[in-house]
Amino acid sequence: MESFDGDRAVAPARRARQTWDEAEAQEAYFATVVSGFPLFARDLAADKPLYGLISLPGFIVHANGPDAQVDKPRLTVNLGCEKMRPEWSSVPEAITFARQLFEDDGGRALAGMSGGPVVAVTDSGYHLVGILYEGTRALETGFAVPWDLIHAAFSDSLALAL
């Protein structure tokens, strides 16, 4: 989180929400990366419990505008994680992680990603645009709180403390 300037990240998050209707008309999704510690990438039975930090590519596929009259302003994010790349198959934990990903029948393999940063990938760089708070195994219905809202609430709380 320290690698993102919280003040500067407000602008890209707000812009994504303000221009969503225009972008949607062009079928232009915003490329993202979400990082976290999903359940499938954990080995709690090991002598030393292991937590795998995973970064998954995806897209923001919908955003509530800043003026939308909704209870929960949010970004809708699609991510995919259905296979393990061959180059990782020789890693000692690969068998455990693959089994936990593929045999997950409760749809919770990617649980644990909540709280992970949603980072937009643009020509001008990487921009923190939200924090993931909900999703299913394939995260096709993942939701994130827009960063501009988080930053505003945090700034307001600092002002109250003074």
What secondary structure letter does DSSP report for 66? T
**pLDDT value for 156:** 67
Q: How far is CA 99 from the centre of its chain?
A: 23
6 pLDDT higher than 70: no
pLDDT of residue 93: 81
Q: Tell me how far CA of residue 147 lies from CA of 67, 130, 151, 156, 160, in angstroms.
A: 15, 4, 6, 14, 20
Structural domain boundaries in the chain: 6-161
Q: Is the pLDDT of residue 78 over 70?
A: yes
The DSSP line for 43-57 is ETTSSS-EE--EEEE
Q: What is the SS3 assignment for 15?
A: helix
For 117, the 3-state DSSP assignment is strand
CATH code that applies to domain 6-161: 2.40.10.10
Q: The pTM is what?
A: 0.72
More confident residue, 52 or 19: 52
pLDDT, residue 111, reads 80
Give residue 101's pLDDT band: very low, low, confident or very high (50, 70, 90): confident
